[in-house]
Amino acid sequence: MPDLMKSPAADEPEVALAPPSGKAAEAGEVGGARSLWGDAWRDLRRRPLFVISGLLILLVLLVSAFPGLFTSADPGSGDLTNNFLGSPQLGHFFQDDWFGYDRQGRSIYARVVFGARNSVMVGLGVTLLVTVFGGLVGMLAGYFGGFWDSLLSRITDVFFGIPFLLGAMVVLNAFTDRDVWVITGALAFLGWTQIARVMRGAVITTKHADYVMAAKALGAGTKRILFRHVLPNAVAPVIVVATIALGTYIVAESTLSYLGLGFASDAVSWGADISDATQDIRNNPHTLIFPAGMLSITVLAFIMLGDAVREALDPKLR
Amino acid sequence: MTIIDKPADVPAPRSGGEKSGRLLDVKDLHVEFHTRDGVVKAVNGVNYSVDAGETLAVLGESGSGKSVTAQAIMGILDMPPGKIPQGEIVFRGQDMLKMSNEERRKVRGRKIAMIFQDALSSLNPVLSVGYQLGEMFRVHEGMSRKQSKAKAVELMDRVKIPAAKERVNDYPHQFSGGMRQRIMIAMALALEPDLIIADEPTTALDVTVQAQVMDLLAELQREYNMGLILITHDLGVVADVADKIAVMYAGRIVETAPVHELYKRPAHPYTRGLLDSIPRLDQKGSELYAIKGLPPNLLKIPSGCAFNPRCPKAQDICRTEVPPLVPVTERDGTDLAGRGSACHFWKETIHG
Amino acid sequence: MAEVPKNDEPTDATPNVSEVETVDAETPEEAVAAIEAPVERGEPILQVRNLVKHFPLTQGVIVKRQIGAVKAVDGISFDLYQGETLGIVGESGCGKSTVAKLLMTLEQATAGEVFYKGQDITKLSGRALKAVRRNIQMVFQDPYTSLNPRMTVGDIIGEPFEIHPEVAPKGSRRQKVQDLLDVVGLNPEYINRYPHQFSGGQRQRIGIARGLALNPEIIICDEPVSALDVSVQAQVINLMEKLQDEFNLSYLFIAHDLSIVRHISDRVGVMYLGKMAEIGSDEQIYDHPTHPYTQALLSAVPVPDPEAREGRERIILTGDVPSPANPPSGCRFRTRCWKAQDKCAQEVPLLAIPERFVDQDTPAAHESACHFAEEKDVVHAA
């Protein structure tokens, strides 16, 4: 399962390779080894949507991994005497006052840079947990069917019925010490159902494929069938959904932080900053614009990536 | 249960003058598809014609361009990626490729109808069969719901669907494969078209049902004196119903012949190979003759004759010059009506 | 399984009756193959006895209640001998593909036995089943869906060795895979390519190579050429015949194309609605059919010869195959049969040599499940 996330972009169902008309004859001469992953990658590389979103995501990942590379300022220390609500200096690239200062005299640029890590970690963490757990549930329900399917599907339905944010608020309210792990856990606890459903459907389609039958006829065990035959062929739609969902988890974290149910007040987080900024938007819009803008761009990048991957996977959209 | 012989080939036209003569002339038709991997040349200069009351069988394997040609005639090609860079499709003296969309739409369905291989996916699963049959009359002839339903029952009777009155409100999935194909035929017949194009109409059906459906089609064709283009890969089905045959390979017609002639004396090595590679029902036979190699890749069709890499007779000229479709004659030069072969060595092929 | 004496001189002028052919065979391999086949039958390698498969029809979401059953296979018996090809023909829904799955134990039989060398494989599980599976392999119909698109050709053909590591030691596997590619007529250098880079015929060869990997004795072929182009079908059929001779394989060849089945089979069984209607040598079934369904089926086959066609009698059946969930009483074919009488509705005809032919020295004396079995040549022109 963990290798699910290794190459989210490089997955393509067989049909995608036929030209849209399906009129092309089969290759008389077989070319060099061209894996389906490789073909999808070649296709994706040519999509501007994929290139732009991919570069943005790379940037965000870099910022969250090495914030020190981008700023030397301390996001926590404020200087109220000099910098109280200082306005942005848009010409001062990468300097402390680039995006201005907030009402505690802290550099907004530094806070945006350091806030990326929390948001991205929550987003990635939730996606990973949800994909592994939801994927497992969906795979077992889809593959074994019958009683297990009924049981697991009903449990999925129960969790599906809980409103995502409301549920997260209730859960997080029970914790006082809310760090990355608690928030990730709470969101994953409520968010796995979507992946489970998608995975279940994909596995049901795949398990009836002839090559699965062929593996059974050879005497292959359940483990081999699941992990060599079913999973690699059922994982494409899950990757698409997970990529798009990643953005929404980041939004959820920010919403919770905005509501005071996310990160503790001393943590750096886009959501908390947005919450702070709302006290005085009219006079100091810059305190809102930069953290909110970064949030939007990050989320958009993930959704765009998901779309690009889905288009590469779905021949009907060509 | 009926035991019948092959019906005599006596056309009994229902209506006279208007429905006779040359119906369709396809002239030098080219179709290509622009795909990610390059230009797929699906049809490369096809010529054929159909008269009223005549059955033309277009025979070919997958990728031969037989279905694409039919789609181009019907005007149902996906464009893009499809493109018709060259050619004419003349229906009753008018080039359909030069018509406006509106004119084209009037011809389609009313004058030329099509029957597809997969009847289940060609019928709308959420509408009753009667509604779908009646739609033709409501849309094209402005009939009322009630009238159109009565017409639907009449059509279902005509294609011999038992208990048509009771079944008119059933949905497609409630019919068997053979019955669904009959409904497709009824739909094609609704407006009494001049020409029907049937694309592998019986391929998805069982042998015993296949015979029923082919018989029905042949019977209706005689009754209405329609032209019929039968597209198939099955040399057996063709032998049953066709008057003349056009064999396609890699988007070109490689041989044309009246049905009996083709089987007796093929004039193209590909046709000969196909005939030889089919096992016989009435004899055990020894090893099958197999055409070597693979069907051509339409992205890079071999130069010269497209069949040359697989042809046992291939010479240097076959690799450089595209053989035109030339008339085939007897050894002494006597004309063989309707016969043509696109082979540099047709003489050797037909006369040994 | 009763032996049919075949030492009578064929009355038919065509030199295609089995003995004649063994003498006239053009190549030594063919002669060997023909002799090995049904003439010198030893013990059957596979014996199928009263095999039944009913798929339950259920209602209800959580508590499932059975409301009926699709009788896909309803009491089938036949033998498969070493080195022979048994063809199974029938229309869609007759249960022939289900038989294949039952023999592969991909489906659990509802009742009946399948003896492989005297051992009932329907009762096996675990290690014993795995051992039997080595010897019974399958070639699938659709070369486009039977190969995992995410695996290289080498992985696909090598997978049998990973599942049964005792067959080939690790170091020798790559060589074995390349040998197999060579055997089925593919370039051994293609080992790292993916299935979508091959054409339909080539893919079917890959499927055959996978089936051969474990050196099986029996290969069950479920419509192995019906998805292929006509010009490629012959190549694959020839390959399968060559491999049969080379490895002394027994084929169960399931297909709906009667001409191809005649070409490749030594014996042929005709199925209708989950039952065997008629079974015998290819000559008995094709030239001397006694079951009305076989006759109708054969007469409906379009023949690529318009002149032979016009001389042939055609039997056009009315109606469709009834639903296997609710088959007719008595003889299942009676609803479409022109000979049907009251007896047919009441008594299920047994698959046996018809009484009128029992002691006769005629090719019509083969097993046929009809109360009114009668010989009728529908294949040859009158």
Q: Which structural domains are found in chain A, ordered by start? A: 50-64+97-317 (1.10.3720.10)
Hey, is C296 helix, strand or coil? helix
Half-sphere exposure of B218 (CA within 13 A, CB side): 21
Reported residue count of chain B is 352
What pLDDT sits at residue A82? 66
Helix, strand, coil: what percent of chain C each, to 5? 35, 20, 40
Residue type, B43: V
Find, among C352, C355, C377, the residue nearest to C280 by Cα: C352
Half-sphere exposure of A173 (CA within 13 A, CB side): 7
pLDDT digits (tens, 9 = 90+) for B103-132: 888 888 788 888 888 777 788 888 888 888
Whether C318 and chain B come into contact, CB under 8 Å, resolves to yes
The minimal CB distance from B298 to the residues A25, A29, A318 is found for A25
Restricting to C residues 132-191, those with a Cβ less than 8 Å away from any Cβ of A are: 133-134, 137-138, 140-142, 144-152, 159-160, 162-164, 190
Over its C-alpha atoms, chain C yields an Rg (Å, rounded) of: 22
Question: Which one is the CATH code of B23-242: 2.60.40.3140, 3.40.50.1010, 3.40.50.300, 3.20.20.140?
Answer: 3.40.50.300
ipTM over 0.95: no
Determine the Cα–Cα distance for residues C126 and A222; give it in Å rounded to an integer.
Answer: 12
The structural domain count of chain C equals 1
Determine the Cα–Cα distance for residues B296 and B306; give it in Å rounded to an integer.
Answer: 7
Find, among B241, B173, B243, the residue nearest to B212 by Cα: B241
Determine the Cα–Cα distance for residues B321 and B314; give it in Å rounded to an integer.
Answer: 12
Sign of CA dihedral B134, B155, C320, B113: negative
> Which residue in chain C is spatially nearest to A25 when comparing CA positions?
C199
Hey, is C119 helix, strand or coil? strand
Residue type, B296: P
Determine the Cα–Cα distance for residues B137 and B140; give it in Å rounded to an integer.
Answer: 5
Task: Retrieve residue C321's tokens.
Answer: 């195959």
Please judge whether C198 and A31 are an interchain contact, meaning their C-beta atoms are less than 8 angstroms apart. Answer: no
Determine the Cα–Cα distance for residues B256 and B246; give it in Å rounded to an integer.
Answer: 4
What is the number of other CB atoms lying within 10 angstroms of the CB of residue C66? 11
Sign of CA dihedral A282, A286, A287, A289: positive
- pLDDT value at A160 more than 60: yes
Residue by residue, pLDDT tens for chain C (382 residues) are 444 443 433 333 333 333 333 334 344 444 444 444 444 556 789 999 999 999 888 776 666 677 888 888 999 999 999 989 999 998 888 888 899 999 988 888 899 999 998 889 888 888 888 888 889 999 998 888 899 988 889 999 999 999 998 888 888 888 999 999 999 988 888 888 888 888 888 999 999 999 999 999 999 999 888 888 888 888 899 999 999 999 999 999 999 888 899 999 999 999 999 999 999 998 899 999 999 999 998 888 888 877 776 777 788 887 778 888 888 999 999 998 988 889 899 989 989 888 888 888 888 889 999 999 888 888 776 5
Tell how strand C65-81 and strand C44-59 pair up: antiparallel
Whether C380 and chain B come into contact, CB under 8 Å, resolves to yes
Q: Which CATH number belongs to the domain containing residue C91 in this structure?
A: 3.40.50.300
Determine the Cα–Cα distance for residues C368 and C254; give it in Å rounded to an integer.
Answer: 19
Boundaries of every domain in chain B: 23-242, 249-351
Task: Retrieve residue B117's tokens.
Answer: 């291989």
The per-residue b/e assignment along B61-83, b for 16 or more CB within 10 angstroms, e otherwise, is bbbbbbbbbbbbbbbebeeebbe
Give the predicted TM-score (pTM) of the model: 0.80
Number of A/B CB contacts below 8 angstroms equals 54
Q: Phi-psi category of A215—alpha, beta or left, where left has phi over 0 and alpha has psi -120 to 50?
A: alpha
Residue C152 lies in a domain: yes
Whether B40 and chain A come into contact, CB under 8 Å, resolves to yes
Contacts of C304 in chain B (CB under 8 A): 235-236, 238-239, 263, 275, 278
Please judge whether B240 and C202 are an interchain contact, meaning their C-beta atoms are less than 8 angstroms apart. Answer: no
Task: Retrieve residue C290's tokens.
Answer: 């006694």
Indicate the helix (H) or strand (E) that contains A291. Answer: helix A286-313
The minimal CB distance from B295 to the residues A19, A23, A26 is found for A26
What pLDDT sits at residue A42? 78
| Burial (0-12, 13-18, 19+ Cβ within 10 Å), C361 | exposed
Residue C13 lies in a domain: no
Please judge whether A27 and C193 are an interchain contact, meaning their C-beta atoms are less than 8 angstroms apart. Answer: no
Q: What angle do CA C373, C378, C379 make, to 5 degrees?
A: 130
The per-residue b/e assignment along C280-317, b for 16 or more CB within 10 angstroms, e otherwise, is bbbbbbbbbbbbbbbbbbbbbbbbbbbebbeebebbbb
Q: Phi-psi category of A236—alpha, beta or left, where left has phi over 0 and alpha has psi -120 to 50?
A: alpha
What is the number of other CB atoms lying within 10 angstroms of the CB of residue A56? 17
Find, among B117, B70, B104, the residue nearest to B227 by Cα: B70
Hey, is B237 helix, strand or coil? helix
| Burial (0-12, 13-18, 19+ Cβ within 10 Å), C206 | buried
What is the number of other CB atoms lying within 10 angstroms of the CB of residue A74? 13
Determine the Cα–Cα distance for residues A248 and B276; give it in Å rounded to an integer.
Answer: 63
Whether B81 and chain A come into contact, CB under 8 Å, resolves to yes
pLDDT digits (tens, 9 = 90+) for A206-241: 888 889 989 988 888 889 999 989 988 888 889 888
Contacts of C148 in chain A (CB under 8 A): 211, 215, 228-229, 232-233
| Owning domain of residue C97 | 18-55+69-368
